[in-house]
Structure 1
Amino acid sequence: MAHPTPLDRIRVGSAPDSWGVWFPDDPRQVPWDRFLDEVAGAGYDWIELGPYGYLPTDPARLTEEVARRNLKVSAGTVFTGMHRGPAVWEETWAHVSQVAALTGAMGARHLVVIPSFWRDDRTAEILEPPELTAEQWAHLTKGMERLGHEVRETYGLDIVVHPHADTHIDTEQHVERFLDSTDADLVGLCLDTGHYAYCGGDSVKLIETYGERIGYLHLKQVDPEILAGVVAGGVPFGPAVRRGVMCEPPSGVPELGPVLQAAQKLGVELFAIVEQDMYPCEPDVPLPIAVRTRRFLRSCGA
């Protein structure tokens, strides 16, 4: 059997999301200390903070908890509605500041920025039109540039915007429009392979076309058969996850080996954080999947 090319520029990690964690506090989620124990036990070195407030928010306490498990933090995550214009800046910045301060204190350099959902991921209620107006696109792109500038100046972090199902940055068309309309120096991209496939995009093509914009990776796969039913039925993202649309690799798409090889060829160090959306899930489900996924990624050279 041929050995895979070593992916020496790819830093593999996992996230609370792979343990079914979507909210700061929810009785259906595993306790944070169990997540830390299990993610370390599964063989990962890097983690994300997950929803702000899930892991301890005191930097000294969190530093101690991750260090004694030989873990390091790669990024924090925020949700933003920049398309709503300057009126939401103060509220957005208050939340971003909390997360960015903790992220920086943990030695991480990235802040993953997810656009707000246009339909509720729990109730499926339509909150806004799925397409932005030209004015809203301008608000979105200018707002993200401002966020990128302020986060770097204040906290020394780089923002990476995460295309996501049921948000306004989702399909290939929307992602390319966003990238073409923003300053590469201020705004990077977090390519989530699962979300991009969910919305019809080709991750390898995106990496090869917009390589200089790729600042971060989330690794996940979708089940093509379940996705076909989701698309045909107009099923919202939350219920789609409960159907199992995001599946354990290597059983779904896209193939992660070619994605990782394309990322390696960029010649820069990149985090590749495993995220298998499965909220809610039974507490004993995530660990065996995490162990198998880590083994699979090693077989790809990562």
Structure 2
Amino acid sequence: MSAQGAAGTDGRERIAPSGAGLVGQVFEGNVADYADRPGELLSLLEETGLTLVGVYTGANFVYPDVLPDELAKVTRTAELAARFGAERLVVGGGARRAAGTREEDYDRLGAALDKVVEIAEAHGLDSSYHPHLGTIAESPAEVEKVMARTRIGFCPDTAHLAAGGGDPAELIRRYPDRLAHVHLKDIDLTTGEFLPLCRGSLDFKSVLDAVREAGYDSWAIVELDAYDGDPKDAALVSRAYLDRLLG
């Protein structure tokens, strides 16, 4: 299992060495920034020895009138991901309506995610769905509604799953054959604060045991959504902790 990468704490990934490992995943905006100058990013990746494993994008998916535009954005992201050598397309989304979620929203989300699979496959990418706070896939029951309606792979984000009331290890064990990408992220469940690995509430030994049981032996991306401290220090703390667990 490769446990590498650290997200920026301002909501965008850093395409630069963190001092702690390889950057594994960036956001759609990062690759879009280089759409008109691809050679610059490719040179940067080569010079720094970084591996771009995946690109993340999100969409609301549940509103039929804007779905074509949302899928066009996903398609553009997939094109750029493939151009820059990524292997995976990771998507989140499924808007939570102000008036309340409708059951058909899950049907629409599932159908849209199947189209994401087709878009990814057309560009030589694997695809996975990332349940996320603020969407209609927060709680374990909501995640199940989504997963039952689509064939897309599963990308567990440990902090978001836990904050939604789930046990990340149990949810990984629930979908072993769907496990396609992994986000390792810690959180203080009392305060909701995202923290470096081992500084929050989550049991990563249990998580990694579940990942191994699923037969997954690939990238585990370390992330930190927001943090008041130094990002590099946070990355080093997480890396040292994972080295101990994986050693």
How high is the TM-score relative to the length of structure 1?
A: 0.75
1:273 to 212, 221, 224: 221
Instruction: List per-residue Cα deviations over 1:49-94 (Å, max 9, x = no partner).
Output: 2241476333322111011111100111111111113x32321122
> How many residues end up aligned between the 2 structures?
245
Partner residue, 2:92: 114
2:79 to 101, 114, 118: 101
Q: Give the conservation status (yes or no) of the 8 Å contact 2:15–2:26.
A: no
Q: CA deviation at 1:207?
A: 1.4
Q: Measure, in 1, the Cα distance between the counterparts of 2:69 and 2:49.
A: 35
Q: Measure, in 2, the Cα distance between the counterparts of 1:290 and 1:214.
A: 24
Equivalent position SS for 2:190: helix
Amino acid at match of 1:263: V
Q: CA deviation at 1:296?
A: 0.8
Q: 1:37 to 1:210 in 2, by over 3 A?
A: closer
After superposition, residues 152-231 of structure 1 pair within 5 angstroms as: 152-153=121-122, 155-183=123-151, 187-227=152-192
Q: Measure, in 1, the Cα distance between the counterparts of 2:172 and 2:55.
A: 22
Q: CA deviation at 1:37?
A: 3.8
Q: Measure, in 2, the Cα distance between the counterparts of 1:98 and 1:150.
A: 10
Unmatched segments (≥5 aa) in structure 2: none
The structure having more radius of gyration, on CA atoms, is 1
Q: CA deviation at 1:45?
A: 2.2
Q: Measure, in 2, the Cα distance between the counterparts of 1:52 and 1:36.
A: 11
Could you tell me the percent identity over the aligned residues?
24
After superposition, residues 228-247 of structure 1 pair within 5 angstroms as: 245-247=193-195
Q: Measure, in 2, the Cα distance between the counterparts of 1:247 and 1:258.
A: 18
Partner residue, 2:24: 47
2:141 paired with 1:141: no
1:62 to 23, 38, 41: 41
Unmatched segments (≥5 aa) in structure 1: 1-9, 24-31, 119-126, 228-244
Q: CA deviation at 1:210?
A: 1.1
Q: 1:139 to 1:116 in 2, by over 3 A?
A: closer
2:10 paired with 1:13: no
RMSD over aligned CA atoms reads 2.1
Q: Measure, in 1, the Cα distance between the counterparts of 2:226 and 2:172.
A: 26
RCO higher in 1 or 2 (8 Å CA, sep ≥ 6)?
Answer: 1
Q: Measure, in 2, the Cα distance between the counterparts of 1:181 and 1:117.
A: 16
After superposition, residues 245-256 of structure 1 pair within 5 angstroms as: 245-256=193-204
2:206 paired with 1:258: yes
Q: 1:139 to 1:286 in 2, by over 3 A?
A: same
2:50 paired with 1:71: yes
Q: Measure, in 2, the Cα distance between the counterparts of 1:71 and 1:198.
A: 31
Q: Measure, in 1, the Cα distance between the counterparts of 2:17 and 2:50.
A: 11
Equivalent position SS for 1:111: strand
Partner residue, 2:70: 92
Partner residue, 1:296: 241
Equivalent position SS for 1:94: helix
Q: CA deviation at 1:38?
A: 3.8
